[in-house]
Amino acid sequence: SSTGDRHDEIDFEFLGNVSGQPYIIHTNVFVQGNGSREQQFYPWFDPTADYHNYTIHWNPAAIVPIRVYRNYESQGVPFPNKQGMTVYSSLWNADNWATRGGLEKIDWNSAPFVAKYRDFRARACRWNGPSSINQCAVNSPANWWTSPEYKQLSYAKQGQMKWVRDNYMMYDYCRDYKRFNGNMPPECFKPQF
């Protein structure tokens, strides 16, 4: 996330559960302070059973945490690429909306709540002010994230993404016609893989 009212942010969050209910992986992309690009998935694994590897890949072409948000900025769709971001990891109280839409509240008697990490690596282009926008997008060997293999998912990865979407996606803002009163965001009509 960057800072300020017009911040950019890429969310990858685990929402709590009611005992016996599955966890939910919640993703969102904020651009200039506007989110409303949520997708949610039931994990196909138990996130509490062991350590797992999680990657958020963000480059000039797309953002890929467990979904794909492609860069269609040239077609009028906002994309977070104008500000530096910092990685944050936290446990926070979102019981006004997170667990079953806010119906279930946190049981503070179960505190303390703990999250553990190991082998964290942030491999990123350093933000040195506005000149970084172009420097970080240049196709060069030093900018490994701009190489062709990272511009689009391979056919195998597209198949994996389709499998996850078909079997585990529980919410997609691009299918929520009621929320947007039928006036869907423009990226919803464009390919995401």
User: What residues act catalytically?
Assistant: 9, 13
Cα gap 80→58, rounded to integer Å: 9
d(CA 88, CA 47): 19
Q: Which residues contact 84 (CB under 8 A, 6 or more apart)?
A: 2, 127, 132
User: Could you give the CA distance from residue 93 to residue 54 in angstroms, rounded to a whole number?
Assistant: 22
Place of tokens 């950019």: 8
Place of tokens 């910092």: 86
CA distance 51 to 31: 30
Evaluate whether 186 touches 72 at the Cβ level (below 8 Å).
Answer: yes
Q: From CA 53, how far away is CA 159, in angstroms rounded? A: 20
